[in-house]
Structure 1
Amino acid sequence: MKAARIFLFLTVLLCLGAVTASALEFGDPAPDFELPGLDGKTFRLSDHRGQIVILKLGTTWCPTCKQQSFELAEAAPFLKKNNIKVVEVFLQDTREMITEYLAKERHPEELIPLLDDGQVRQKYNVYLIPRLLVVNREFQIVRDGSLLTSQALQNLIRPMLKKGDKG
Structure 2
Amino acid sequence: MIKKIFAAIVLFGLMTVAIVQAMEKEEPKPKNDDRLSGLSVGLKAPDFELKNLKGETVKLSDYKGQKVMLNFWATWCPPCKAEMPDMQKFYTESGDNIAILAINIDPEYDVAGFAKELGLDFTILLDDQDKVNTVYKILTIPTTFFIDENGIITHKHLSSMSIETMRKYAGL
Q: TM-score, normalised by structure 1?
A: 0.75
Question: Does residue 64 of structure 1 match 2:79?
Answer: yes
Alignment of 1:73-92 (within 5 A): 73-80=88-95, 82-92=96-106
2:13 corresponds to: none
Question: Does residue 131 of structure 1 match 2:143?
Answer: yes
Contact 1:134 1:143 in 2 (8 A): yes
Classify 1:21/1:150 alpha carbon distance in 2 versus 1 (closer, same or farther; 3 Å): closer
Question: Does residue 105 of structure 1 match 2:105?
Answer: no
Q: Aligned with 1:22: secondary structure?
A: coil
Q: How much does 1:77 deviate?
A: 3.0
Q: How much does 1:75 deviate?
A: 1.6
Query: Which of structures 1 and 2 has the bigger CA Rg?
Result: 2
Deviations 1:110-146 (A, max 9, x none): x111110211111011110001111110000011121
Q: Which moved more, 1:146-155 or 1:28-37?
A: 146-155
1:41 corresponds to: 56
Q: Aligned with 2:149: secondary structure?
A: coil
- The count of aligned residue pairs is 137
Q: Aligned with 2:69: secondary structure?
A: strand
2:12 corresponds to: none
Q: How much does 1:158 deviate?
A: 2.5
Q: Distance in 2 between matches of 1:114 and 1:68?
A: 17
Pick one of 114, 119, 132 that aligns with 2:131.
119
Q: Aligned with 2:110: secondary structure?
A: helix
Q: How much does 1:62 deviate?
A: 0.6
Identical residues among aligned pairs (%) = 26
2:25 corresponds to: none
Q: How much does 1:41 deviate?
A: 1.0
Question: Does residue 30 of structure 1 match 2:45?
Answer: yes
Q: TM-score, normalised by structure 2?
A: 0.73
Q: Distance in 2 between matches of 1:34 and 1:148?
A: 25
Question: Does residue 54 of structure 1 match 2:69?
Answer: yes
Q: How much does 1:33 deviate?
A: 0.7
Superposition RMSD on alpha carbons, in Å?
A: 1.8
Aligned letter for 1:137? E
Q: How much does 1:103 deviate?
A: 1.3
Q: Distance in 1 between matches of 2:56 and 2:92?
A: 25
1:165 corresponds to: none
